[in-house]
A and B are shown apart, each in its own frame.
Chain A
Amino acid sequence: MATLRIPTPLRVYTGGQTEIPVGGATVSDALQDLVARHPAIKPHLFKDSGELRPFVNLFKGDENINVLQGLQTPLTENDSLRIIPSIAGG
């Protein structure tokens, strides 16, 4: 399974978990798996229409999935995915 790293602001929706193993062949599958395990996170990642919210940045390894194949980016066993949050504190 790939692992998905959850940023601090979203950890309240994953029971405090920082890294979650996610199943699936693509980023999209992995997110569906995440949402199935932690439904409370769904509105923070997806619009009601099901699209990914534009301020949610997903990186596979050190690349933004937008420069790969977006939500269809394939995942393999040891891939690490991370959500990079928009934070504004200073």
Chain B
Amino acid sequence: MFVSSLIEGIVIGSLYALMALGSSLVYGLLRILDIANVAGLVLAAYVGQDVFSGTHSLPLALLAGIGSASTLGFLLQRLLYRSLLGRSPIVPLIASVGVFIAFEELFRLIFGPYELNFPASVGLPSFHLGGNLVTGVELLIVLVGCTVLVATWAFIRFTRVGLTWRAVAQDRETSAAMGIRTSLVMGVVFVIGYGLAAVAGVLLAINYNSITPTMGDIPAYKVLAIIVLGGLGSPLGTIAASMLIGLSETFVAAYWGFVLPRDSIAFILLIVVLLLRPQGLIPGEPVRA
């Protein structure tokens, strides 16, 4: 049971990390908790499923999902968030919640209330590890998760563009004064952030073979917990928090059953960690006011 719980926890943690990383990047840059990022996750699942139904090509489905979610992210930052930047942080948060709720109903109206399935074969073999079956999809989630997370971290840490992002995150006005096109940086971060959510959305839909208009409910508030628990504005912290939550949920279920609502575990951990370490697991870089 320990090995299977460990594997299950790593898979779930990888999914959480992919879900939360986009929002973490956005927060790191703009100090906006963007719940609407999860609307991008759900949109990508629907678009990906639609494209897969017509083409039976998973790469095309993924690209379509990423394209649709990234477009949504770009439009939201352009039409909504930019005008809210100077306001109190609660204002864009409430706006993003409103956008998310509106999109939930939009998905129901466009795609219908019924669950859709995404029975895609990912081309990877299932195998037994420690007596437990690991499916091809679960393997793909872990591989994609690791690749994306490492690539994102390396991009931010070692590239010139990443340096630009960090500069804008630290001080937007000074960055603009230094010649950095902050509006372009914002647009790119949203495009990439929503693209990451899209990858999570498509993998989530394939793994559970299920897409519903309300599939973003739980990720929406869990992403909040992950970002805060990991350390606001810290992608590494987001990854650490995702793994911690994924493993905790799985081990609690394995040894004590559903003694607690699964989703409450993330918030219990959040409270405990913040009491002991208010800055989160791996704090982000300090921001000049």
Whether both chains belong to one complex is answered with no
